[in-house]
Amino acid sequence: MPKRVITYGTFDLFHIGHVRLLHRLAGLGDHLTVCVSTDAFNEIKGKSSVIPYDQRVEILSACRYVDAVLPENDWAQKREDIRREKIDIFAMGNDWSGKFDDLGDLCEVVYLPRTEDISTTSLKTYMDALRSDQLDEIKHLIETLGEKAAAL
């Protein structure tokens, strides 16, 4: 009997951790549905994405491990999605461990380990640090130019 798997996430700044997670999720069953947080839902969660929702959907749809992509509009939709999509396994990264155990009455709940040393948060932190360094460099150049102009 085929097994249907579902997962949820923002999938911003698509990286090797996402690929490896999707590969492991696809290995749990025969059909993988990925529900992607919309930009509006991310705002409710206090998050912002670098990549807009429609592009994140397009990226995930192009991934060979993903069979279907649906919008995630709110926290409460999971139960209805599981019923409607006839899901056998709800799976998430283990950073969510225990948070969705209440769905166990509808399907099996699985938490998979994250890929070490990579996350969207770490990429955003790195990008912010680069921006900060660049701003410091620009400020220094402006000060230097100002000093040279004042000396003339």
Contact indicator for 18, 11 with CB cutoff of 8 Å: yes
Helix locations, 45-119, DSSP H: 53-62, 78-84
Contact indicator for 21, 112 with CB cutoff of 8 Å: yes
135-to-25, 48, 148, 149 alpha-carbon distances in Å: 41, 22, 20, 21
* 47 is a catalytic site residue: yes
* SS3 state at 66: coil
Annotated active-site residue in 3, 47, 99, 139: 47
Q: Which residue has the tokens 């919309």?
A: 38
Annotated active-site residue in 45, 86, 99, 139: 45
* 45 is a catalytic site residue: yes
Active site residues: 45, 47
